[in-house]
Amino acid sequence: MDIIKKNNLSLGPLLFNWDDTKTRDFYYAVADEAPVDIVYLGEVVCSKRMAGKNTLPDIVERLERAGKKVIFSGLMLVLDDRDMRATEDLAALKENHLIEANDLSMVSLLKGQDHTIGPFINIYNEAALKYYERGGAVRISLPPELPESSLRALAKIANADLEVQVFGRMPLAISARCYHARAHKLHKDGCKYVCDRDPDGLTVETMDGQEFLAINGLQTLSYTYANLLAELPDLVQMGIHNFRLSPHDVNMVKIASIFRDRLDNKIDQSQANEKVESEMFAIEFSNGYYHNVAGMKQVGT
């Protein structure tokens, strides 16, 4: 199926703990080379690390100069006074930038103002969607576990722009405990930022040695990478025109270019698949949630 209407690609917030230099170089490359329309910036996992905090002003300036729209993302779990202060400081920027709320604390601070809702807030039905729209949400990134039937039902009644994650490890859970610190026999408050040792998350295996999850500080992610290249035409047909790529320690410029070319009908489905698999030959992909089966499964080729 051809994809006709102009569609937007976005780059979600960086979920991992990269150092300032790597973060800066990554976003400079995105600004100069990646065909994405929107870039989400901000620490969403752990307020202790505040990814790229020392270079954030330069990153914002470089992205906006390149014509990218910048949206600031808030924490997905506000645990203490430090987290609340960070949340309030971010909400104060709402006059100049859209803010993505990923926790109900931020939703409360942004009520009545234009803002976006991130995929870490559960929106599973039409009533929930309308509740957040009434509060001022103009853009909603839906949870990655929604099946096609739910996405279609929400797209049918939405006034806000809907977004779906189409690439990258899927966020599954967040905890007050730091799995990364515990894995290294450290306490959360004395974690030594050991999550920086795993730029795409630390793989978790079952007792039988099957790789099935990844941990990232306080966060649990899927082991497999979502890849909805094959589902893009259906998503567009149902009225969704915003697609999120989650950043990873791979050539995201190339990944974004493949999705952009597919959305613009410059390549067909088989060519897109071949290019992504060539770029990430050791990665396991999945699209199970979309097809209402186990999320880690891959339906079709």
| Res 148 pLDDT > 80 | yes
- Which residue type is seen at 30? V
Q: Distance between CA atoms of 141 and 121, rounded to whole angstroms? A: 9
**Per-residue model confidence as pLDDT tens digits over 15-25:** 999 999 999 99
- Which residue type is seen at 256? A
- Model confidence band, residue 4 (pLDDT cutoffs 50, 70, 90): very low
Give ∠ CA 274-276-277 in degrees, rounded to 5. 65
Q: Distance between CA atoms of 237 and 94, rounded to whole angstroms? A: 32
3-class SS string, the chain: CCCCCCCEEEECCCCCCCCHHHHHHHHHHHHHHCCCCEEEECCCCCCCCCCCCCCHHHHHHHHHHCCCEEEEECCCCCCCHHHHHHHHHHHHHHHCCEEEECCHHHHHHHCCCCEEECCCCCCCCHHHHHHHHHCCEEEEECCCCCCHHHHHHHHHHCCCEEEEEEEEEEEEEECCCCHHHHHCCCCHHHCCCHHHHCCCCEEEECCCCCEEEEEECCEEEEEEEEECCCCHHHHHHCCCCEEEECCCCCCHHHHHHHHHHHHCCCCCHHHHHHHHHHHCCCCCEECCCCCCCCCCCCCCC
Of 43-52, 63-72, 167-176, where does mean pLDDT reach its minimum? Answer: 43-52
| Res 154 pLDDT > 80 | yes
Q: Distance between CA atoms of 298 and 293, rounded to whole angstroms? A: 9
Residue 32 lies in a domain: yes
Q: What is the pLDDT of residue 54?
A: 75
Segment 268-292 mean pLDDT: 91
- Which residue type is seen at 248? H
59 or 3, greater pLDDT: 59
Residue 175 lies in a domain: no
Q: What is the pLDDT of residue 1?
A: 39
Dihedral pair phi/psi, residue 152, rounded to 5° = -65, -40
Dihedral pair phi/psi, residue 39, rounded to 5° = -125, 125
Determine contact, residues 215/180, Cβ cutoff 8 Å: yes
**Domain coverage including residue 158:** 8-169+226-281
Q: What is the pLDDT of residue 192?
A: 87
Which CATH number characterizes residue 251's domain? 3.20.20.70
Nearest to 238 by CA among 170, 162, 299: 162
Nearest to 232 by CA among 254, 279, 265, 277: 265
Nearest to 45 by CA among 147, 252, 198, 184: 198
**Cβ-based neighbours of 251, under 8 Å, separated by 6 or more:** 279
Residue 91 lies in a domain: yes
**Per-residue model confidence as pLDDT tens digits over 87-125:** 999 999 888 899 999 999 999 999 999 999 999 999 999
Instruction: Count CB neighbours of 206 within 10 A.
Output: 9
Residue 127 lies in a domain: yes
* Count of domains for the chain: 1
Residue 207 lies in a domain: no
Residue 218 lies in a domain: no
122 or 183, greater pLDDT: 122
pTM: 0.94
Of 19-23, 87-91, 242-246, 278-282, where does mean pLDDT reach its minimum? Answer: 278-282
Q: What is the pLDDT of residue 301?
A: 66
- Model confidence band, residue 2 (pLDDT cutoffs 50, 70, 90): very low
Q: What is the pLDDT of residue 33?
A: 97
Segment 125-148 mean pLDDT: 97
Residue 176 lies in a domain: no
Residue 190 lies in a domain: no
Segment 221-242 mean pLDDT: 96
Q: Please give the share of the chain, as a percent, with pLDDT higher than 90.
A: 79
- Model confidence band, residue 51 (pLDDT cutoffs 50, 70, 90): low
